[in-house]
Structure 1
Amino acid sequence: MAGGNTGASGRAGGEFVLKPWELRGEGREFEKLGGELAKAVTALEQGLAALGAPWGADQPGSGFAAVYGQARGELVDGLRGLAGRVTGVGAGLHTMAGRTADADSSAASGFGATAVPGAAGSAGAPGVSPVTSAVYSTAPGATPGAVPAVPEDRPV
Structure 2
Amino acid sequence: MAGGSTGASGRAGGEFVLKPWELHGEGREFEKLGGELTKAVTALEQGLAALGAPWGADRPGSGFATVYGQARGELVSGLRGLAGRVAGVGAGLHTMAARTADADSSAAGGFGATAVPGAPGVPGATPGAVPAVPKDMSV
TM-score normalised by the chain length of structure 1:
0.71
Assess, with a 3 A threshold, how the Cα gap between structure 1 residues 55 and 143 changes in structure 2: closer, same or farther: closer
Q: Distance in 1 between matches of 2:132 and 2:116?
A: 24
Superposed displacement of residue 110, structure 1: 1.2
Alignment of 1:110-125 (within 5 A): 110-117=110-117
Q: Distance in 1 between matches of 2:138 and 2:109?
A: 37
Superposed displacement of residue 15, structure 1: 1.2
Q: Distance in 1 between matches of 2:120 and 2:5?
A: 25
* Deviations 1:79-115 (CA, angstroms, capped at 9, x unpaired): 0000000000000000000000001001101111012
Superposed displacement of residue 116, structure 1: 3.0
Superposed displacement of residue 14, structure 1: 2.7
Choose between structure 1 and 2: higher helix proportion.
2
* Deviations 1:100-147 (CA, angstroms, capped at 9, x unpaired): 000100110111101234xxxxxx5998xxxxxxxxxxx999999999
Assess, with a 3 A threshold, how the Cα gap between structure 1 residues 9 and 32 changes in structure 2: closer, same or farther: farther
Superposed displacement of residue 4, structure 1: 3.2
* Deviations 1:17-64 (CA, angstroms, capped at 9, x unpaired): 010001111100000000000000000000000000111111000000
Q: Which moved more, 1:85-94 or 1:106-115?
A: 106-115
5+ residue gaps, structure 2, are none
- Number of residue pairs matched? 139
Contact 1:6 1:23 in 2 (8 A): no
3-state DSSP of counterpart to 1:16? coil
5+ residue gaps, structure 1, are 118-123, 128-138
Assess, with a 3 A threshold, how the Cα gap between structure 1 residues 74 and 48 changes in structure 2: closer, same or farther: same
3-state DSSP of counterpart to 1:143? coil
- What is residue 44 of structure 1 aligned with on the other side? 44
Assess, with a 3 A threshold, how the Cα gap between structure 1 residues 33 and 148 changes in structure 2: closer, same or farther: closer
Let me know the Cα RMSD of the aligned residues: 8.2
Q: Distance in 2 between matches of 1:109 and 1:153?
A: 15
Q: Distance in 1 between matches of 2:37 and 2:112?
A: 46
Contact 1:6 1:22 in 2 (8 A): no
Identity of aligned residues (%): 91
- What is residue 100 of structure 2 aligned with on the other side? 100
Assess, with a 3 A threshold, how the Cα gap between structure 1 residues 10 and 125 changes in structure 2: closer, same or farther: closer
Superposed displacement of residue 10, structure 1: 6.3
